[in-house]
Amino acid sequence: MAASIQRTAREELRALQSERLRETVRHAYENVPFYRERLEEAGIGPDDVDGIDDIQNLPFTTKEDFRDEYPDGLFAVDDDELLRIHASSGTTGKPKIVAYTESDLELWDEVMARSLAAAGIEPGETFQNAYGYGLFTGGLGFHGGAEERGLTVVPTGSGNTQRQVELARDLESDAIGCTPSYALYFAETAAGMGVDPRELPLSTVLYGAEPCTEPMREEIENRLGATGIENYGLSELIGPGVAVECHEAQDGMHVWEDHFYPEVVDPRTGEPLPEGEEGELVLTSLSKEALPVLRYRTGDLTTLTAEKCDCGRTMVRMDSVTGRADDLLIVRGVNLYPSQIEDVVLEFDEIAPHYRIDLYRENALDRMELTVELVEGFDGDREALREAIGERLHNALSFTPDELELVEHGAIERTEVGKVKRVYDHR
């Protein structure tokens, strides 16, 4: 079932999605006062959903709703049916609390095992899980799926990187799961210990939880001599395990849409966009018990394609997230995402994959300082390089930072635990 559903005909998949959407709306309506109220406001009863196309009539759920309903206002089952609680890190305010029944945890294991299989990680291989354990869904989400897949799990969690390098070498880890910034930090730490990261047995880096551009993927692959596979998920839906690249094509992440229905909408109007257009990803859970989620506005910008993939899977693919709607930088009226700057800067072989963006306001004017790091041992003409980067940014983005600073290798702070921070808005 698990293998065939990934390659099922689109019409069959839609029939399954329709059935599951009906059940999910009924479950939410009957058991969550918040959803009952929202649906009634929209004039929708549990019998008004016939098929998956009706999803466009349903109201959205937002991260503010999660905060307003803190801690358990969105739960759809009694407390004694809950086996697990997680929480998503909020930079400000209360965390979003999420919960799982036994069946939800089985579902999670299944979609994670599927993700590991799509990444090309075979039963019997050793998986070093460097995602953070604890309330964050990354660690335990990967852990359960890796066991389900029949892998040997090394549950290192994040941090303690010298130890991680030793374990990867001594236990011959075949794959590591971590954030993209941590993969680079891991490679640097290994090199600093006199261990060539390319000589480590790692053949797959399963990265996620942060946006990652294509040039950044190349850096990870080159430094570790491994295949980089991106995965996507979010606690509000389940955690990791919503979408993953297949190792056959490495060309967009297959969304496990028998359980998570994706749409892309205009972030301003909320109107659905045609396939292939970039907009905000909206996700609906189709089989969750404890926390059914209708049309969740993820804030992540991406595109979807239903074109058949080389791997034979028929499930739609989403592009790497170009940015969160929240990450949009508006600098002197120009809209920019940090990922666009990353794309340009990493085209230069002289530049290491580390940068920071500082924003200030001086005399009512925005001011951006971009700091980029030189590769180890750079001894070329800095001024010429600086000019070339400035010119390239200007051509690609019609934007030039007010100050562009080149710093020595290692000068930009690394992130060993948690998500990388590259933008510092002092305005």
Q: Which stretch binds Zn ion (CB under 5 A): 17-25, 197-205, 210-218, 238-246?
A: 238-246
Is the Cβ of residue 249 or residue 325 nearer to Zn ion in the bound state? 249
Is the Cβ of residue 246 or residue 286 nearer to Zn ion in the bound state? 246
- 152-154 and 323-324 strand pairing: unpaired
Tokens of 240: 């990791």
Q: Which stretch binds Zn ion (CB under 5 A): 39-47, 206-214, 244-252, 399-407?
A: 244-252
Are 174 and 126 a contacting pair, CB within 8 Å? Answer: yes
The number of beta carbons lying within 10 Å of the beta carbon of residue 366 is 17
Tokens of 339: 């990922």
Strands of 101-192 (E only): list them. 126-129, 152-154, 175-178
If one asks whether residue 247 binds Zn ion (CB under 5 A), the answer comes out as no
Shortest separation between residue 211's beta carbon and Zn ion, angstroms: 21
Of these, 44, 249, 273, 325, which contacts Zn ion (CB under 5 A)?
A: 249
Shortest separation between residue 276's beta carbon and Zn ion, angstroms: 17
If one asks whether residue 237 binds Zn ion (CB under 5 A), the answer comes out as no
Amino acid identity, position 370: L
Q: Which stretch binds Zn ion (CB under 5 A): 243-251, 273-281, 284-292, 375-383?
A: 243-251
Count CA atoms closer than 13 A to 274's CA, side-chain side.
0
Shortest separation between residue 317's beta carbon and Zn ion, angstroms: 7
Mark 205-234 as b/e (b = at least 16 C-beta within 10 Å): bbbbbbbbbebbbebbeebbebbbbbbbbb
Is the Cβ of residue 308 or residue 421 nearer to Zn ion in the bound state? 308
Q: What is the DSSP letter of 104?
A: H
Q: What are phi and psi of 326, to 5 degrees?
A: -70, -25
Is the Cβ of residue 219 or residue 257 nearer to Zn ion in the bound state? 257
Q: Which stretch binds Zn ion (CB under 5 A): 166-174, 256-264, 309-317, 415-423?
A: 309-317
If one asks whether residue 246 binds Zn ion (CB under 5 A), the answer comes out as yes
Amino acid identity, position 235: S
Are 240 and 138 a contacting pair, CB within 8 Å? Answer: yes
Indicate the burial class of 384 (C-beta count within 10 angstroms; 0-12, 13-18, 19 or more). Answer: exposed
If one asks whether residue 309 binds Zn ion (CB under 5 A), the answer comes out as yes
Shortest separation between residue 85's beta carbon and Zn ion, angstroms: 34
If one asks whether residue 311 binds Zn ion (CB under 5 A), the answer comes out as yes
Binding stretches for Zn ion (CB under 5 A): 246, 249, 309, 311, 313
